Amino acid sequence: MALADRTGQQVPSVVFHTRSGDAWKDVSTDDLFKGKKVVVFSLPGAFTPTCSSTHLPRYNELAKEFKARGIDSILCVSVNDTFVMNAWLADQEAENIIVVPDGNGEFTKGMGMLVSKEGLGFGDRSWRYSMLVNDGKIEKMFIEPEKEGDPFEVSDADTMLKFIDPSWKEQESVSIFTKPGCQYCAKAKQLLQDKGLDYEEIVLGKDATTVSVRAITGKTTAPQVFIGGKYIGGSEELEAYLAK
């Protein structure tokens, strides 16, 4: 495939045809990049497995970390139309990501990243890569190795964040099961916030049922906190854990 690293070059000049609500809106590369410091990650397709389970969610999860280090926006580019990209964004609930529908593959072709996926019935798609762009100029590219399948080794959010800030240390993922009106849940969330820890809140009765949480922990009480795959417990156990 001979995919070229375009570090030091300007991004291609393209106009993207996007849909916002019930209206069409053309968005240019100048709109997206001019005067901004932007992180871009590009992937083979919306709703595809790795893209949906790992690539996009992790960039969305770490968006605050990128912003704290001077990144104005995070763009996800894919050779899909705007309706597909908008539906995928809504499905992913990735409010921190701007999806860019490169439906005609013009931007991807200009980047030299357009590849054939005919064997999968996809037609032409983007090779997986990420880049740091400053005022339209590419400062760094991470291009997945050219081998069979869909390699996902270097274009991830963690690699990009470590490049921007080598001192950054990964925060373990935090989830908390809560119930509406629960004072102990409010305490647990405040403890996490005071430590600067981002978390995903799973509201029982809305996002999951007590059957689900009982199947995981054997308990139906709230809150129930998990950090890095480890069950911590309720608010008191969390307070003791964070005090260590």
Nearest of 173, 175, 171 to residue 216 by alpha carbon:
175
CA distance 198 to 46: 26
Residue 141 has a CB neighbour count (10 Å cut-off) of: 22
Any residues with CB less than 8 A from the CB of 21 and at least 6 apart, and which?
Answer: none
CA distance 152 to 76: 15
Q: Is 40 exposed, middle or buried (0-12, 13-18, 19+ CB in 10 A)?
A: buried
Where do we find the tokens 């991807």? 108
Residue 7 has a CB neighbour count (10 Å cut-off) of: 13
Pick the catalytic residue: 51, 76, 182, 185?
Answer: 51
Q: How far is CA 7 from CA 130, 147, 154, 209, in A?
A: 11, 21, 15, 49
Is 51 annotated as catalytic?
yes
- Asked if 133 and 38 count as a contact pair (C-beta separation under 8 A), the reply is yes
Whether the bond between 223 and the residue before it is cis, its omega within 30 degrees of 0, is: yes
* Catalytic positions: 51
